[in-house]
Structures are given as structure tokens and as C-alpha cells.
Structure 1
Amino acid sequence: MPRGQKSKLRAREKRRQAHAETQSLEDAQATGAAAAAAAATAAAAGESPSSVCPPFEDRPQNMPAAGTPSTPEGPQGTTNANAAVSCTNSDEGTNSQKKESSKSSKGIEDLRRDPLHMKVALLVHYLLHKYQKKEPITKSEMLKFVIRKYKYRFNEILKRASEHMELAFGLDLKEVDPTRHCYALVSKLDLTSNGTMNEEENPPKTGLLMIVLGVIFINGNCATEEEIWEVLNMMGVHAERKHFIYGDPKKVITEDLVQLKYLEYRQVANSDPPRYEFLWGPRAHVETSKMKVLEFLAKIYDTVPSAFPFWYEEALRDEEERAQARMAARARAAAMASARSRAVASARSRATASNFSQAK
């Protein structure tokens, strides 16, 4: 083969390899962002959670409220005003694309500077795959297939990945066999009721649900639709935009989780035009608690629930009420069991007496 053609082939191969490397880094960045949905997404980009979400105040009334911005759609017109709007939107779209491109380039540079970041993202992807396939998770396989040459940083990588799994998907990584170093992913919800969220078929939506339940809790146990979307928008989740983890977030929140009775979605009384609000559904009250939700929110801010005294006190009262309800339920169950035992004993005594009488 002539030298000129060989040089061209080598140059083409180098370009292909460079493109493949860049694509791989971009895929890893996307996976890392997926894993860190709420504040973890910001952490993956090198930002602090407070730069994405407004810091908690001591009282829910201090939370800001703003609706989800919407873009009115009108008929295709020929007026200058419509043309001006079209041009403006086009310019904004171009600027947005430039910002996204710049952000993507920055993310790739961050990955190159912090190789652990990519390992965390890959491990999150691996853990989610194992969870969906219901396959066992072992340290040996994580070291072999994901961590590889960073074995000496295993504990750090695993810790960061488990935090992302918790915040994005509402899944806790627990070591179930310390001897063989086997792990399991456990939902933060106590899935004891009938029905599931089909987490085997789709990425778990528990993380999104926990965030919504948290917003409801900190807004006095009832949050308007605007308050919900204000927080979700700051986390990169928008009502009219498909999300790469949650799919159609609006459908998930207003339909799927409502049908599963995790959320209650109702019209605000006397609202005209109609407005809507969210409350905890009956299944949420059974499968989680205010304290668990507050612990989840506190982890987003890398703190403890007691750092928010107003909600912490309410969560403690809720825990006490739950404990009393459990004690009362156990007492009722014990009383019923005792009554059944006495009834059975009485029936046996009567039967014995009857048999004895017949024998005489």
C-alpha cells in the first residue's frame, strides 16, 4: 500500500479512536448525572447541593413559591410580532445549545481530571443493571468489571456510588454478607402493599417520589403543583420535558404515583381557574414516614434531620404517634388472639363434657 494511503488510514483511525473516547466519556457523564438526580447531579458537576436547591428554612412558610414557566402556543401567524417571537426563540435556542455544548465540554474535562468520577458513574450504571436483573452484587465482580486498576480506592468509589443510588433512585446499598462481601439494593419504601412501581421494567422512581413527599412535608403536608415543580425544575426535572431517568415526570407524578396511591392529587378548593395540590397518599403513610423523608432530604444537604428543628420536631411527633398506633394494634391483636383461644378452650370443654355425659 502506498505510504500516502497508509498515512491517511492511520490519521483516520486516530480520529475514530479520539471520537470513541470522547463519546465514552460523554456516556459516562450522562450516567453519572442520571445517578445523581437531585442534588447529586449537581455534585457530579462539581457544584454543591445548595447551588441547585434553595436551603431549607426553619418554617415551611418561608419556602418560595413559583409556578412552572410555560410557553404559550398559538396558531401559525404571519404578523411581524409572531415573526419576532420566532426569531427570539430561535436565538434563545441557539444560545441554549451553546451553553449545553460548553457545559458538556466542561463535564468531559472534569472527568479527565477526576477519573474516580467516571468510575462512580460506571458503578452506578452497573448497580442499577444488577438491581433490574435481580442479580447478586459482589465486591469481587465490582472490582473485576468496573473498578479494575482503582482497587485501592474501592471504598471511596462504592460510597459515592451508593449515595448517588440513594438520592437518584431511592435505593439503599446494604452489605448482606460481610464474609463474602455480597450487597443488595433495598428500596427506601417498605413495599408491603399490593402492587409495585414496576421497578424491574423501568428505572426506579422512588427517588422522585421521596423528593415530592419531602416538598409536601415541608410545605405543611400539602403542596401546590407550582411548589412541587419549582423544586423539581431546579433539579433539572420539568413537567413538559422528557427526563432520561423518569421519562415523562408529569405523568409519573400526576397519574402513575396517584394511581398507586402514593400521592393524592386534587383541585384546590374554590380555585378559578382551577389549580391543583398534592398530599401524601395512603400508601405513602404506610410504606414510609416523615422521619425517613426528612432523613432523605437531609442527606441531599449532607447534614442530619435535627438541623431542621421545625420539621424534625414534627417528624418526632409522627414517630411517637406511629409507635403508639403499633402498640395499640399489637394489643388489639393480642386481645383477639386471647379471645379466640378462650373460645376454642370453651368449645373443647363443652365437647368434652358432652362426650362424658353421653358415655355415662
Structure 2
Amino acid sequence: MPRSQKNRRRGRKKRNKTVEKTKEQVDARATVSKEHEYPSSSSTSNKGIPHGPVAEKSTNKQSPKVTFSSTTKATVSVGTKSNEEKKSSVKEKVKHIQKITRKYTKDTIDEMVVTLVHYMLHKYQMKESITKANILRNINQAHKNHIPEILNRVFEHIELVFGLDIKEAEPNKQIYILVNKLKTCSDKRLADGRVVPLSGLLMTLLGVIFTKGNCATEEQIWQVLNRMGFYDGKKHFLFGEPRKLITRRFVKERYLEYEQVANSDPPRYQFLWGPKAHAETTKMKVLEFLSKLHETIPIAFPSLYEEALIDQEERSKSEGAAKDCTVPKIKTCCKTKSRLSTQPR
């Protein structure tokens, strides 16, 4: 065989060997790249790949979790908590604003009550009548819805604190006057010229005496006065020094009697109704006053109510007997006058 043919065969063999080697290298690289790729199915070769709870945690960190219901609606769980927090914070703000509004409304209503009480006391001092129209003019128009509450509180202060009754001066004209519950109880005049009625405090003391068996010790009186803001030796901004008021003024005016308890050593003192108290009020009126203070009705105190009824019956009998005694005297007086007129001159 000639050399040229042998050389050609050798060249072909070499080329075939290089092609095979190249193909083997390419296949080897392909297999290596496949080993590094994640398989599509969950087979036993999934070592090192996140799965189960760990996979869920890792995926939650990267992207929101989407769940599908039977109606194929997706709901995103991430972000729900923040929306709930926003709603709760809005509710808290609304509650806070409502609280401030209520406090502001209460404060303004309190101010209007005080203003109206001063206005009515001024009218009482000047002995002038009060019209409902003038009262309403003193109420802020922004609180029209609170007018019944404001008027109720004003009338309660006038009656229970100062002992004044609101009576209609002219029927069907809404014109009123203030009348003292105790007719001859003197008022206290302040340094600035204002007048403070004392009958409200006096009615409270008469009520304490009545509830304690018509005789109250000094300790019992001071227990009630302390709850009302009156303290022995401390001057009250409206009523002055309370001890002088109850042991001197009210005793001097004969509304109270202040006497030493029998056989007490060291000496102790007690309070009773005075002659003027018996003359100008009744146990039933005092019980009605106390009932309003306690926001109830007189019959809620059965024993006191029964005693007040007995007192009323006794008063009506004595008044009737007094009338019967005065009628014959008038008749006899008239008869003597007629006889004198018929005698000849």
C-alpha cells in the first residue's frame, strides 16, 4: 500500500479520537450541570432542598403567603395585622375625642348652672320675679338639647342648697318667684353685698335632728356637716364660721335649741327643734326635703313617714280646735254689739 493512503488513514483515526473525546467532555459537563439543577418532582434525590415547615418559613420571608379557598379567591395573610392595628388605633382616638367632648360639655353645663343660680339669687335679693324666657337667654344656644338637665340642676341647687321654693307668680305666664322655706329665717349678707339664704342648711339640720329621734348630739350634727364641707373652726366661703352659725345665730332666732346632755361628764351637748321651727315647718316637709336630698320619696323611710303623718294629724286637730275656740267669741261679741245698737238713747 502506498504511503499516502496510510497517512490518510492515520489522520482519520486521530480526528475520530478527538471528536469522541470532545463529545465525552460535553456529556460530562451536561451531567454536572443537571446535578446542580432542582428536580421538578419530589424524589429521594431532594437532599439539601428546603421542604416542610422550614420551607414555609423561608418562603414567608421572601413573598406573601397566598391561600386559595374553594371559590378560588386568594387572600393575602401578610398585612392583615397592620390593618387591624390601624383600626384599633382609630377606635382609641375616637374614644379619646368623645371623652374630651363629654368633659367639655360637662364643664360648660356646670358653668351655666352656676351662672343661673347666681342670677336667680340676685333676683331673690332684689325681690324681683323671674321669667322662663330670661332663664333661657342665659343658656348657651349650643346646649339646647341639655336645657331640661340644666334647669333641673338649677332648681335642685336653689331648693336643696339655699332652701328656696320656686313658685309660680302668675298662672300660665311662666313667671316665678323665690320663696324662703322658713318664713322668718334671716339671710346672710356677704361683704360684696350679695345675699345667701340660710334656710337650706337649717332644713338639713332639722332633718338630722328628726332622723335621730328628735334629738341629735353635737357629734352627729358635725358628722353630717363635715360631709357637706363644713368644719369646726374653718370659715366657709359662703356661710362663714359654722359653729357660730348653728350654736348662736340659729339658736338666737329660736330655730334650734342647744343644750347640755343631762348628767354628761365631761359635758356633752345636743340639738333640738326650736319654737320657730315647729311653727314654720312640719316633719312631713322636712322629710320631703330629706327625700329629695337622697333622690327618693318620703315613704322610703317608713318609720319617719308614719311619725310625720301622726304629726300632721295632731296639727290639723289643734288648728281645728283653735278655730272652734275663736268662733263663739266672735259671735258673742257681735251679739253684744247688736244689743247695744237696739237700746234706746
TM-score tier, shorter chain, comes to 0.5 to 0.7
Could you tell me how far apart the structure 2 residues matched to 1:178 and 1:111 are? 38
**Alignment partner for residue 185 of structure 1, among 178, 194, 209?**
178
3-state secondary structure, aligned to 2:197? coil
Contact 1:224/1:278 (<8 A) preserved: yes
Give the structure-1-normalised TM-score.
0.63
Aligned with residue 132 of structure 1, among 125, 130, 138: 125
- In structure 2, what is the equivalent of residue 167 of structure 1? 160
Q: Percent identity?
A: 49
The structure having more radius of gyration, on CA atoms, is 2
From 192, 204, 223, give the equivalent of 1:230.
223
Deviation at 1:314, TM superposition (A): 0.4
Alignment-derived partner of residue 197 in structure 1: 186
d(CA) in 1 for partners of 2:188, 2:139: 23
Specify the alignment match of 2:104 in structure 1. Answer: 112
More moved, 250-259 vs 200-209: 200-209
Residue 314 of structure 1 aligns to a residue whose secondary structure is helix
For the pair 1:280 / 2:269, whether they are aligned, the reply is no
The one-character-per-residue Cα deviations of 1:297-318 (angstroms, maximum 9, x if unpaired) are 0001111111100110000000
Residues 199 and 344 (structure 1), Cα distance of their counterparts in 2 relative to 1, 3 Å cut: farther
Pairwise CA distance, 1:287: 0.3
Change (3 A) 1:174 1:147: farther
Q: Aligned-pair distance for 1:225? A: 0.8
Q: Secondary structure at the match of 2:138?
A: helix
Alignment equivalent of 2:305, drawn from 312, 325, 330: 312
Q: Distance in 1 between matches of 2:335 and 2:133?
A: 56
Q: 1:250-301 CA distances to partner (integer Å, 9 max, x unpaired)?
A: 1110000100000011111122221111110000000001000000000011
**Alignment check: 8 A CA contact 2:162 2:198 kept:** yes
SS of the residue corresponding to residue 337 of structure 1 reads helix
Q: Map 1:76-91 to 2 at 5 A.
A: none
Match of 1:14 in 2: none
CA RMSD of aligned residues (A): 2.1
Greater mean alpha carbon deviation, residues 220-229 or residues 336-345: 336-345
- CA drift at 1:179: 3.8
Distance 1:178 1:344 in 2: 42
| Corresponding letter in the other structure for 2:151 | L
Match of 2:264 in 1: 271
Q: CA deviation at 1:121?
A: 2.0
Asked if 1 retains the 8 angstrom alpha-carbon contact of 2:188 and 2:198, the reply is: yes
Structure 1 residues 109 and 319: alpha-carbon distance in aligned structure 2, compared to 1, 3 A threshold: farther
User: Are residue 141 (structure 1) and residue 124 (structure 2) matched?
Assistant: no
Secondary structure in structure 2 of the residue aligned to 1:183? strand
Q: Aligned residues, how many?
A: 241
Q: 2:248 maps to which residue? A: 255
Q: Which residue of 2 aligns with 1:33?
A: none
Runs of 5+ consecutive residues of structure 2 not aligned to the other structure: 1-99
- The answer to which of 259-268 and 138-147 deviates more is 138-147
CA distance in 2, matches of 1:207, 1:222: 19
Q: How far off its partner does 1:155 sit? A: 3.1
**Structure 1 residue runs without a partner (length 5+):** 1-107, 356-360
2:112–2:138 Cα contact (<8 Å) kept: no
CA offsets per residue over residues 194-215 of structure 1, 9 Å max, x none? x541356630110110011011
SS in 2 for 1:238: coil
Residues 1:109 and 1:335: Cα distance change in structure 2 (over 3 Å): farther
Call closer, same or farther: CA 1:139–1:148 in 2, change over 3 Å: farther
Higher relative contact order (CA 8 A, sep 6+): 1
Residue 177 of structure 1 aligns to which amino acid in structure 2? E
Counterpart Cα distance in 1 of 2:290 and 2:211:
10
Q: Distance in 1 between matches of 2:215 and 2:311?
A: 16
